[in-house]
Amino acid sequence: MKLSSKLHTQSGNRRLASAAQTSLIPDYLMPLRSSRRLALLSLFCAPVALNVASNAARAASQSTTKHTTTKDTTRKQDRVSTAPAEEIVATARRTRSEQSLGHAQLQRILPGINPVKALEILPGVVYNDADPWGNNEQNASLFIHGFTQNQLGFTLDGIPLGDQAYGNFNGLSPQRAVISENVGSASVATGAGALGTASTSNLGGTLQFMSQDPKHHMGGQLNQTFGSWSTFRTFARFDTGDFGNGNSAYVSWARQDARAWDFAGHQGGNQVNAKFVHDGSRDKLTYFFDWSDKVEPNEDGIVLPNGYGTYVRPFTYPDFNYAKSYYGSPEYKQAGLNYRNYYSAAQRQDFLTYLAWSHDFNSHLHWDNQFYYHHDLGEGVVAGPITAAGLPTLFGAYFPNQSNDQLSSTFGGSGYATRTTEYWDNRGGVLSTLHYHLGNHNIELGGWYERNNNTQARRWYPLSATNPTTPYERQQGALIDQYTNNFYTNTWVTHLQDAWKVSKNFTLSAGFKSELVYTNGTLPVAGKKGSLSPASSVTVPGGTIAAVKPFLPAFGALWNITPNEQWFANIQENMRSYQDAGYGNATPWGATSQAAFENFKEHGKVETSWTYETGLRSHHRVNLGPLTDLQGQVEYYHVHFSNRLVAIATTQTLSSIIGSATTLANVGSVTTDGMDFSFTAQFGPHFSFYNALSYNKSVYNDNYATGSTIVHTAGRNVTGMPDWSEKFVATTMWGNFTGQFVGDVIGKRYTTYTNDMWASPYALFSVNAGYTIHGIPHIPALKVQGNITNLTNDKGWSTVGTTQTAGQFTAYPIAPRMFFLTLSANW
């Protein structure tokens, strides 16, 4: 098996030994520390992770690195006789639960997949989206151990990606930060992430993505995917190889265009990545660049229950004649909350870059630094009927005493108006970490600073009856600048930790981090009186609020009971800072009055969580008939989530396109208990079976009040997270042929806080198969891969919109069965 090319350099070997000394875990198991993930995690999760035989040798040996091969003759013979087989999921040997997928497995699930969606095969991870790649951000949802995606931490090569809010304010999605085909590995710490994780939203764990380093030989890659609904995805990459003095680089480009399966919108865009690495005797320098320009026309969610059996709610674009006849028709009136818009889309353009520098002072002292910058220019746009969802009240505030016909003329004569939420984000920062190995102690001291300036604006534009706009263009000439929020945030995070190797087989770790987040919200454009919902609502100027926790402790233990069994435990406290958003959001700046803002500033509490996790890992070579290798992990976790903040809407409806004023309320705490169990069984060199079973019980502990009404949520299940989930991957490998059968079973999910409504369980299956052809002139390897998603063509609800409103919720449909064929040439 070919390991990472970094092992082929003298400096790479030296750094690996240094990393072993400064690891938080025993060096004879897996000496990966968080700050060196960029250099070493590719070794831990090389394409489709590692082979099972190598993994077994690692667990049994006491080598100083995860991948160092033993010289023992017997073990060599064991590896040969077993025949290396790929490991679908790699399990980290840490004080916390962390599992990963490698590059090849990510692309097997579906070429070009959003790496977050690929992680749904891991225990405790529930991801939903209405497209098979998981790319559509409007209708995506992620739950891990009862926490949503906005309560998790996300990083790429260690740099922060923010909290994944659809209304972007402090980051970008992983699929916009790096081209899918350039992702080297993706991992999830389902309980609590490393102290050095650059996130202030990771209440419930972290997701880490690593980009591939350049290859050490010159070459290229060209992928072409064809498929259902006019899918056409192209990926091209050129590697320079080593060009002297430890230098190498690559540049790559991806373009995707796919028609949405239930409306005539095309989703996709262009993306460019470039990466340069200089690997010297004492220094490693890395530069990464990403540009992403994508447009995703969106389908609206179905408001349930509905009396018409509606399963999809597509927009009417590009048939403008039908759209004009639909407006005001009996069909429009009967649709109620499920009326159709002309179009809806998310437009996002991002620039992301970082420069990383690592320096070895000596074999005991190492220094890592990263400097990054991200710019986002985004727009969420909806073109809908001017009479829908409270719009006459809004427009009446800006154009008083106009009839519907007059308003239609004002907005272009089509009967439609176009609403935008416009985003502008500039953020940059630096991360710096020192690692010092002193005797049996591995000490880490790190800091992170970020400055984030972001703007969110709500504007309204005409939709001309003679020259209508499209979902793919930016709006021009606003008729109404309803409100604009500017936010300026300074984030300061430091951490200190020590891993004490008490004995050969037992390690204790302890540390803490300090989070100081200061946000100043301003309101250069206020909402006009009467333009909001209800009409008495206002947008507020706001001010500065700090989210401060100077001491967030973490404790861990790792005990190698035998060479094959390992016990781990971790206790950690985390904090989530306030989101930088205004009216209608669960933030202090969404308050209904300046007095309410000042009251929260004085008395409000930031969300925090205590996570407790413990478990056992085991790995055995066996000789039980066809079963030759068995490894697994079982984990129990308990979480106490305090000061849960909810934006309580003052108008209880799901239909208002203008949104509703909200009151930010502390509604108490949540208690979570659960277990994750996963294993991989290897049946000789040709078959393996991976299975993950999860149980989660997340319960609200308190009731809360909305006005004079008590909402009885105490003892109710947290919405969106099923009690049970089951995932499996059955794999077969025969030389150049690979095939997989993948299953994802999700249990009942409650959709309202009072648990009076829910989404039914579903089971989705997919298959993939690939064959690599060798010997073609000038093409060393040509791979042909086929994928079928939603194999049984099941219907059901993927993402569900969880609400406070009893008796109704929104949901998005599951994408139907689709077929894809990918040709991949490497040279």
CA distance 463 to 781: 51
The letter for the amino acid at 399 is F
Q: Where are the beta strands (DSSP E) in 171-282?
A: 183-189, 206-211, 219-227, 231-239, 247-259, 266-279
Would residue 542 be called left, alpha or beta, if left means φ above 0 and alpha means ψ between -120 and 50 degrees? Answer: left
Where does the pLDDT of residue 515 fall: very low under 50, low under 70, confident under 90, or very high at 90 and above? very high
| Residue 60 C-alpha from the chain's centroid | 34
Q: Return the higher-pLDDT residue of 77 and 717.
A: 717
Q: How far is CA 239 from CA 245, 359, 755, in A?
A: 16, 25, 53
Per-residue confidence (pLDDT) for residue 816, from 0 to 100: 97
Q: Is the pLDDT of residue 739 over 50?
A: yes
Is it true that the peptide bond before 305 is cis, omega within 30 degrees of 0?
yes
Q: How far is CA 294 from CA 157, 208, 475, 822, in A?
A: 22, 23, 16, 22
Inter-residue contact 487 to 520 (CB < 8 Å): yes
- Write the pLDDT tens digit of every residue in 57-67: 333 333 333 33
Mean pLDDT of 482-497: 97
Token pair 């399966």 is found at: 261
Helix (H, G, I), strand (E, B) or coil at 321: helix
Per-residue confidence (pLDDT) for residue 464, from 0 to 100: 95
Mean pLDDT of 809-819: 95
Domain ranges of the chain: 5-826
Per-residue confidence (pLDDT) for residue 85, from 0 to 100: 57
Which residues does 313 contact at the CB level (< 8 Å), separation at least 6?
299, 300, 301, 302, 338, 340
- Give the mean pLDDT of the chain: 88
Task: Please work out, in degrees rounded to the nearest 5, the angle formed at the alpha carbon of residue 454 by the alpha carbons of 163 and 449.
Answer: 65
Among the listed residues 389, 444, 331, the one whose alpha carbon sits nearest the alpha carbon of residue 36: 444
| Segment holding 42, helix H or strand E | helix 37-44
Token pair 């590995």 is found at: 185
Per-residue confidence (pLDDT) for residue 652, from 0 to 100: 56
CA distance 52 to 72: 18
Pairing between β-strand 206-211 and β-strand 153-156 as defined by DSSP bridges:
parallel
Mean pLDDT of 432-458: 97
Tell me the whole-structure pTM to 2 decimals. 0.90
Would residue 807 be called left, alpha or beta, if left means φ above 0 and alpha means ψ between -120 and 50 degrees? Answer: left
| Residue 792 C-alpha from the chain's centroid | 27
Per-residue confidence (pLDDT) for residue 36, from 0 to 100: 39
Superfamily classification of domain 5-826: TonB-dependent receptor, beta-barrel domain (2.40.170.20)
Instruction: Spell out the alpha helix ranges (H) of 62-155.
Output: 73-82, 103-109, 115-118
Inter-residue contact 611 to 665 (CB < 8 Å): no
Which residues does 562 contact at the CB level (< 8 Å), separation at least 6?
none
Inter-residue contact 299 to 812 (CB < 8 Å): yes
Q: Is the pLDDT of residue 49 over 60?
A: no
| Residue 221 C-alpha from the chain's centroid | 26
- Write the pLDDT tens digit of every residue in 264-283: 999 999 999 999 999 999 99
Per-residue confidence (pLDDT) for residue 8, from 0 to 100: 36
Per-residue confidence (pLDDT) for residue 257, from 0 to 100: 97
Q: Is the pLDDT of residue 7 over 80?
A: no
The letter for the amino acid at 637 is Y
Structure tokens at 142: 């992620």
Per-residue confidence (pLDDT) for residue 391, from 0 to 100: 87
Where does the pLDDT of residue 306 fall: very low under 50, low under 70, confident under 90, or very high at 90 and above? confident
Which letter does DSSP use for residue 791 in this model? Answer: T
Where does the pLDDT of residue 653 fall: very low under 50, low under 70, confident under 90, or very high at 90 and above? low
Q: Return the higher-pLDDT residue of 121 and 592.
A: 121
| Segment holding 634, helix H or strand E | strand 627-642
Would residue 643 be called left, alpha or beta, if left means φ above 0 and alpha means ψ between -120 and 50 degrees? Answer: left
Q: Is the pLDDT of residue 27 over 90?
A: no
- Write the pLDDT tens digit of every residue in 233-253: 999 999 999 999 999 999 999
Where does the pLDDT of residue 657 fall: very low under 50, low under 70, confident under 90, or very high at 90 and above? low
CA distance 434 to 426: 28
Q: Is the pLDDT of residue 213 over 70?
A: yes
Inter-residue contact 46 to 100 (CB < 8 Å): no
Instruction: Please provide the size of the chain in residues.
Output: 827
Q: What percent of the chain has pLDDT over 70?
A: 88
Per-residue confidence (pLDDT) for residue 577, from 0 to 100: 97
Token pair 């509604």 is found at: 667
Inter-residue contact 478 to 457 (CB < 8 Å): no
Q: Is the pLDDT of residue 185 over 80?
A: yes
CA distance 593 to 744: 46
Strand partners, 572: 554, 611
Q: Return the higher-pLDDT residue of 198 and 404.
A: 198
Per-residue confidence (pLDDT) for residue 86, from 0 to 100: 67
Q: Return the higher-pLDDT residue of 12 and 251.
A: 251
Inter-residue contact 302 to 382 (CB < 8 Å): no
Per-residue confidence (pLDDT) for residue 661, from 0 to 100: 76
Token pair 């209304």 is found at: 167
Is it true that the peptide bond before 318 is cis, omega within 30 degrees of 0?
yes
The letter for the amino acid at 142 is L
Inter-residue contact 607 to 645 (CB < 8 Å): yes
CA distance 803 to 444: 42
